[in-house]
Structures are given as structure tokens and as C-alpha cells.
């Protein structure tokens, strides 16, 4: 979906999926928000659902999915909406041929002359430590499984323009203000790994706008994605979805003239709140702006398998 040109394609949709989504409730059933030990975000549902078997492989040159895939995805979406899971309300489905295990939903939002893209991905990949197999998979299809965890990823992405019409967009152009974030490699042979600045930039952006001493790990509200400053959304309810958009706009406006200096500092040293560049920029931010996630709390606990997880709570 992400292109080197800074475009995010919003290509093939499905009328059947969008009809199902159109009856999604605005008022939700209860669920809780969590991060697992790998820092992946998930919603814990009141009761388990069955995630159907899905094709594993898809030719990325084919812009549309097969009917078997769509049928299974429609059934799952109906099930989630029947449980009054309101996270789909107001969204549209789009097929990403590179991410068949992570179906994507989106909405465009305009405020104050700015446009933001809201992307919601469901991660339906099988996790053997937390999912219960109900039908075995194969080399071609994933197993069907029962779970009360719905892994999701939601981002607000600033865009500079819409490709095609606003009512039926073909894609968007991302407002990219971050230059290339690859800075080198580490390891040898099969163990070579790339070194990227994205995670350190995410920490830098977020800590600038969090209240002093506020700890939200593993959640960072402002992220470096798509070579842009994005917002990681953990309040997925329709009435709350856009509430932090002013934070995204304020962060982008503040960071843009300083982004080269920030990248240079992080290429020389890993992120720390003691970095001279961080401390100087932090002092320039008005105290009223340093209220990101002030009502949000992240608490660690041990799950039923004695593995560390985190619950996200709001006061």
C-alpha cells in the first residue's frame, strides 16, 4: 500500500463488505485495550469469536482478492458487527494485495483545511500462544481459530492531496517531512539487520508532547511512519476517533522546521530525554500542548500464562 512516491493506494474495495460495514453500530459493546509482550495492540472482546481460514498467498500484481477470501472476510466482519463492535462505523473497506492477512479499513477527515487519512488494520495472522485452533491450516491457507483477542493497528496519517475523487478516492499523497531513515546495517551473513531511525524518532516525537514524567510504554502517540509524523490511535470508537487530530497538526507544525536537526542528533546518538536537542525543543513547547494522553494510563500485569502484558485505561 505504501509507495516510494509517498502515495498510499486505496484501490479495490468491495460493495458487499461496505454494505456490511454500513450497519455497524456507533455505540459499542464493552471491550478492553491491551498491548502484549511484543508490544502489539489488541482489543479483548467479551467472548471469543472464530476467525475463519484465509488464503496465505496472493499475487501482489493482482489488485483484487479471490471470492473465497472475500466470503470469509465478510463472515468475520458480520460476526464482529453483530457483537456490536463499533470500530468499523463510518469506515470503508480497501483491499491491500501485499497484506492479505491484515484487512484494511479507512476514512478521510477534513478539519481546518487539512486532510487526514485514518487507517485501521486487523491483524488476523495466527498466534499459537494465544489462539485456539478450530480447523487446521495448510501451506496455502491459515488455520481457523477461536480467540477473544482482536489484534489491530490504527493510524492517523496527514495527507497533502487525494488522488481521484474525494467520494471515491484511488489514493492519497502523504505529507512526508522525514527524510530517509535507514542509517546502516549490523551483524554478518544471515544475521545482517538494517538500522533504522523510525523507532527513535517515534520516541522523540512522543516524549516532546507527553507531560513531563508521563510513562505510556509501550504506547507512543506520535509515530514516524510513511516518512511522516503520524498519530497512533488507541481510542477506536467513532465518537472519539478524531479527538487527537489537533495534537497531530500541532506536532507536525512544530517538528517540521526542526526535523533535519532531530535526525542528525539521532544518527549520532540513541534517543534519550537527556539529549541536548530534545531538552532544548521540549523547553520551547508551551505547557498547554504537553497534555497528550494526560487522561490515558498504561498498567502492566501478568496474563493467564504469566506473560507480561499492558492494559490501556482512561480516567
Mean pLDDT is lowest, of 59-73, 113-127, 177-191, 259-273, for 177-191
Residue 1 located in a structural domain: no
Residue 285 located in a structural domain: yes
Question: Domain tally for the chain?
Answer: 1
CA dist., res. 245 & res. 248, Å (int):
5
Query: Which range marks the domain in which residue 131 is found?
Result: 7-314
The DSSP element (H or E) to which 282 belongs, if any, is helix 276-284
Question: Average pLDDT, stretch 281-310?
Answer: 89
Residue 168 located in a structural domain: yes
Grid coordinates representing 48 are 471469543
Is the pLDDT assigned to residue 56 strictly greater than 90?
no
CA dist., res. 147 & res. 160, Å (int):
39
CA dist., res. 93 & res. 77, Å (int):
11
Grid coordinates representing 6 are 509517498
- Give me the pLDDT at residue 2, please: 56
**Average pLDDT across the chain, whole number:** 88
- Give me the pLDDT at residue 179, please: 84
Residue 18 located in a structural domain: yes
Question: Average pLDDT, stretch 205-209?
Answer: 95
Residue 2 located in a structural domain: no
Residue 185 located in a structural domain: yes
Residue bearing cell 508490544: 39
- Give me the pLDDT at residue 181, please: 66
Residue 189 located in a structural domain: yes
- Give me the pLDDT at residue 205, please: 96
Q: Percentage of the chain surpassing pLDDT 70?
A: 93
- Give me the pLDDT at residue 193, please: 44
Question: Average pLDDT, stretch 172-186?
Answer: 73
Higher pLDDT pick, 261 / 167: 261
Residue 270 located in a structural domain: yes
pTM above 0.85, yes or no: yes
Question: Average pLDDT, stretch 177-193?
Answer: 56
Q: Tell me which DSSP letter residue 53 carries.
A: P
Amino acid at each position: 500500500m505504501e509507495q516510494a512516491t509517498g502515495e498510499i493506494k486505496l484501490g479495490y474495495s468491495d460493495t458487499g463488505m461496505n454494505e456490511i460495514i454500513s450497519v455497524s453500530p456507533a455505540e459499542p459493546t464493552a471491550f478492553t485495550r491491551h498491548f502484549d509482550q511484543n508490544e502489539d495492540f489488541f482489543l479483548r472482546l467479551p467472548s471469543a469469536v472464530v476467525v475463519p481460514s484465509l488464503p496465505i498467498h496472493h499475487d501482489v500484481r493482482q489488485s483484487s482478492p479471490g471470492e473465497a477470501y472475500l466470503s470469509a472476510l465478510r463472515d468475520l466482519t458480520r460476526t464482529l458487527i453483530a457483537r456490536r463492535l463499533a470500530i468499523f462505523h463510518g469506515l470503508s473497506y480497501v483491499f491491500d494485495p501485499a497484506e492479505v492477512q491484515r484487512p484494511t479499513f479507512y476514512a478521510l477527515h477534513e478539519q481546518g483545511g487539512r486532510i487526514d487519512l485514518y487507517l485501521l488494520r486487523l491483524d488476523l495472522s495466527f498466534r499459537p500462544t494465544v489462539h485456539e485452533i478450530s480447523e487446521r491450516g495448510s501451506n496455502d491457507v491459515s488455520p481457523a481459530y477461536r480467540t477473544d483477542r482482536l489484534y489491530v493497528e490504527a493510524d492517523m496519517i496527514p495527507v497533502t492531496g487525494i488522488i481521484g475523487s474525494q467520494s471515491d478516492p484511488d489514493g492519497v499523497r502523504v505529507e512526508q517531512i522525514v527524510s530517509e531513515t535507514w542509517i546502516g546495517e549490523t551483524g554478518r551473513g544471515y544475521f545482517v539487520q538494517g538500522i533504522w531511525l523510525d523507532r527513535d524518532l517515534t520516541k522523540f516525537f512522543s516524549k516532546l508532547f507527553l507531560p513531563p514524567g508521563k510513562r505510556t510504554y509501550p504506547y507512543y502517540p506520535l509515530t514516524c511512519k510513511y516518512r511522516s509524523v503520524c498519530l497512533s490511535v488507541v481510542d477506536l470508537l467513532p465518537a472519539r476517533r478524531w479527538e487527537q487530530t489537533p495534537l497531530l497538526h500541532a506536532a507536525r507544525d512544530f517538528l517540521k522546521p526542526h526535523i533535519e536537526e532531530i535526525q542528525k542528533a539521532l544518527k549520532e546518538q540513541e534517543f534519550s530525554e537527556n539529549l541536548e536537542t530534545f531538552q532544548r525543543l521540549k523547553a520551547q513547547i508551551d505547557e498547554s500542548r504537553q497534555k497528550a494522553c494526560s487522561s490515558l494510563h498504561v498498567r502492566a500485569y501478568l496474563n493467564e500464562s504469566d506473560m507480561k502484558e499492558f492494559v490501556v485505561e482512561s480516567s
